[in-house]
């Protein structure tokens, strides 16, 4: 009997001293496992005569139950302590100030918009905005694109369901309707840029159904094509941070400008690597021209008194070129790894004097 009492004490002490659930499990196995000490004593019962077996069996069962209960109680206590320690370790103190290293990044589209706006702001342009859901008048008719005009097919327009009077709103296909809204709302002289989202029903390697443009509009009494050229060349040199980019004004057509031009910048593609600057290639980056007299008339301005120029530029395109991003569609994948790689630090605001981006 004595050896049973001392075994009991020994196991209870070991259980109480076990510092971890794993240690405790070793104690349990040593006492109650298949080859455990108490289990061994139970097995030895078969060698006793019935009277002694009953007595010894009862005593063993009492100890076994007591030991099992003690081990279980210790296990619950150890688990609770482990949980509390973990909660304390991983706790978040929401009263602490934020960490200095910010983890959010500015998307290259936003950064490019800010850069372009900073450059034109420096030249004296203000920012104007307009709705993304437009009516036919502002998106087309006032821009000298009457109904049935073939130029409407240049834009793969998203139409909204027809209204009661059969008119249909559209998702604006360009930022040019902001020209109209601005001329309707403010008197010349006008000098604005209008950045924003635009939509066309088109999707492939180089087109996404939603994309961004920035529009420019200057209206005054003596504005001429020389101003247009000077303004855009200044923009291009500042944006690409190169002082001698070849710039080409190539005759083109837009219903709302006359004459119209597309602007190409010089580049080289040696070894498959695209470089902006001198080279034997050209890259188209924007459309522009002198505001068509019909557009001025639609906005209530007298074309004999006022004239001006306008331009429109794709933001994704110039962002791709500046930051060497190979695939347009990745802009809208919302992939955090991509954003970490191409994104910008939030407080790194672009300014012409302080440096745009690099």
The answer to whether 232 contacts ligand PHE (rule: CB under 6 A) is no
Written as six digits, the tokens of 281 are 């290639």
Question: According to CB under 6 A, which one of 236, 288, 299, 320 is a site residue for ligand PHE?
Answer: 288
Query: Residue 55 region, left (φ>0) first, then alpha (ψ -120 to 50), else beta?
Result: alpha
Residue 287: count other Cβ atoms within 10 Å of its Cβ: 22
User: Burial level of 357, CB count in 10 A (0-12/13-18/19+)?
Assistant: middle
Nearer to ligand PHE, 111 or 257 (CB): 257
Question: What are the backbone dihedrals phi and psi of residue 129, each rounded to the nearest 5 degrees, phi first?
Answer: -135, 160
Question: What are the backbone dihedrals phi and psi of residue 232, each rounded to the nearest 5 degrees, phi first?
Answer: -75, -35
The answer to whether 254 contacts ligand PHE (rule: CB under 6 A) is yes
The answer to whether 289 contacts ligand PHE (rule: CB under 6 A) is yes
Residue with CB nearest ligand PHE? 312
Q: Please, what is the minimum distance in Å from the beta carbon of residue 356 to ligand PHE?
A: 23
Query: Residue 282 region, left (φ>0) first, then alpha (ψ -120 to 50), else beta?
Result: beta
Question: According to CB under 6 A, which one of 130, 287, 308, 350 is a site residue for ligand PHE?
Answer: 287
Query: d(Cα 347, Cα 241) in Å, to the nearest integer?
Result: 21
The answer to whether 194 contacts ligand PHE (rule: CB under 6 A) is no
Nearer to ligand PHE, 53 or 227 (CB): 227
CB 60 within 8 A of CB 38: yes
The answer to whether 174 contacts ligand PHE (rule: CB under 6 A) is yes
Q: Which stretch binds ligand PHE (CB under 6 A): 201-209, 268-276, 305-313, 347-355?
A: 305-313
Question: According to CB under 6 A, which one of 130, 196, 266, 312 is a site residue for ligand PHE?
Answer: 312
Nearer to ligand PHE, 108 or 312 (CB): 312
Nearer to ligand PHE, 106 or 288 (CB): 288
| Residue 252 preceded by cis peptide, ω within 30 | no
Cα dihedral 203, 206, 210, 213, rounded to 10, equals -150
Written as six digits, the tokens of 220 are 């005054």
Q: Please, what is the minimum distance in Å from the beta carbon of residue 344 to ligand PHE?
A: 26
Question: According to CB under 6 A, which one of 112, 144, 157, 176 is a site residue for ligand PHE?
Answer: 176
Question: According to CB under 6 A, which one of 235, 306, 311, 331 is a site residue for ligand PHE?
Answer: 311
- Residues contacting residue 267 through CB under 8 Å, at least 6 positions apart: 274, 275, 276, 277, 279, 281, 282, 283
Nearer to ligand PHE, 64 or 200 (CB): 200
Applying CB under 6 A, which residues contact ligand PHE? Answer: 174, 176, 215, 254, 257, 287-289, 310-312
């Amino acid at each position: 009997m004595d050896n049973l009492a001392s075994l009991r004490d020994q196991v209870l002490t070991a259980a109480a001293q076990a510092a971890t659930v794993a240690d405790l499990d070793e104690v349990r196995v040593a006492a109650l496992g298949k080859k455990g000490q108490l289990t061994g004593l139970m097995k030895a019962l078969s060698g006793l005569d019935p009277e002694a077996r009953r007595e010894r069996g009862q005593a063993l069962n009492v100890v076994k139950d007591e030991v099992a209960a003690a081990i279980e109680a210790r296990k619950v206590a150890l688990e609770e302590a482990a949980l509390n320690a973990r909660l304390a370790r991983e706790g978040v103190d929401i009263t602490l100030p934020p960490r200095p290293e910010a983890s959010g990044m500015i998307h290259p589209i936003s950064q490019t918009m800010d850069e372009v706006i900073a450059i034109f702001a420096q030249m004296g342009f203000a920012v104007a905005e307009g709705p993304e859901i437009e009516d036919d008048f502002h998106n087309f008719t006032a821009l000298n694109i009457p109904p049935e005009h073939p130029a409407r097919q240049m834009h793969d327009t998203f139409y909204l369901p027809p209204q009661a009077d059969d008119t249909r709103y559209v998702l604006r296909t360009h930022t040019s309707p902001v020209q109209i809204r601005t001329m309707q709302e403010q008197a010349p002289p006008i000098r604005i840029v209008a950045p924003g989202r635009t939509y066309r029903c088109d999707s492939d390697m180089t087109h996404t159904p939603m994309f961004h443009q920035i529009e420019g509009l200057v209206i005054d009494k003596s504005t001429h094509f020389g101003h247009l050229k000077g303004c855009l060349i200044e923009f291009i040199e500042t944006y690409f941070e190169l002082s001698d980019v070849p710039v080409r004004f190539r005759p083109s057509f837009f219903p709302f400008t006359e004459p119209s031009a597309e602007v190409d910048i010089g580049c080289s593609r040696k070894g498959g690597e695209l470089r902006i600057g001198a080279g034997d290639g050209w890259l188209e980056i924007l459309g522009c021209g002198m505001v068509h007299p019909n557009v001025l008339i639609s906005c209530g301005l007298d074309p004999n008194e006022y004239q001006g120029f306008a331009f429109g530029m794709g933001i994704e395109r110039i962002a791709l070129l500046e930051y060497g991003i190979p695939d347009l569609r990745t802009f809208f994948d919302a992939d955090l790894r991509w954003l970490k790689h191409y994104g910008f630090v939030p407080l790194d605001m672009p300014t012409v004097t302080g440096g745009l981006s690099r």
